A and B are shown apart, each in its own frame.
Chain A
Amino acid sequence: GQSLEQPSEVTAVEGAIVQINCTYQTSGFYGLSWYQQHDGGAPTFLSYNALDGLEETGRFSSFLSRSDSYGYLLLQELQMKDSASYFCAVLNDYKLSFGAGTTVTVRA
């Protein structure tokens, strides 16, 4: 099966940088993806890593190290609207499993 671990909560001020780590255990691996979910809403796709390295999409970047079974999501220039839950997910063949989520709170 698959298991993913990520911190439960992170708090930071506007303009700061936050890194959300994700470690995973899986019998097979195709890629690691990240999602954002605001209260009451559905998750939205942020980024995907299949190979080692950094993927940058605007203020958000995602990193993967397959040898360490580890990835992170980097949120830069934090804004109030970034307050949300963030989930990492691992794709094993067609099975897509999610971590428990990290609640990010941005303070003025």
Chain B
Amino acid sequence: DGGITQSPKYLFRKEGQNVTLSCEQNLNHDAMYWYRQDPGQGLRLIYYSQIVNDFQKGDIAEGYSVSREKKESFPLTVTSAQKNPTAFYLCASSSRQGAFFGQGTRLTVV
């Protein structure tokens, strides 16, 4: 089946640790995105990539890093520099007409 796979669904991290969230798509989309969503809030853009080996900062990139070594994969690293990382993280890919999302990863810092 075509789609986007995010893993893990739930993630717990100790303060001061980096953690990497996985995102894989088999929709053959060029563009991929990472968003953060806090309870009751909208989606805020962290990073996006329109092509392999190229990516752009979104509106809240500080404390995050990404890579795009393959068209299918766009992993997000939440670094220890991110002061308030507990949130729902959503990955998406887009055909320009519309974006399709993974199931999301709920990250909790303990």
Contacts and interface: CB of A to CB of B under 8 A. Distances in A.
A44 B90 CA distance: 12
Q: Please report whether the interface of chain A is mostly helix, strand, loop or mixed according to DSSP.
A: strand
B103 interface: yes
Contacts of B64: none
Contacts, number: 62
Interface of A: 1, 30-31, 33, 35, 41-45, 47-48, 50, 87, 89, 91, 93-101
B99 A89 contact: yes
Contacts of A97: 45, 59
Interface stretch (B10-18, B35-43, B68-76, B78-86): B35-43
Nearest to A8: B40
Contact of B42 (A30, A48, A50, A100): A100
Given A44-B101, A94-B31, A101-B42, A31 B48 contact: no
A14 to B, nearest CB: 25
A31 B96 contact: yes
A42 B48 contact: no
Contact of A94 (B43, B50, B90, B97): B50
Contact of B94 (A41, A50, A96): A96
Contacts of A50: 97
Among A1, A91, A96, A98, the one with the most B-chain Cβ atoms within 10 Å of its Cβ is: A96
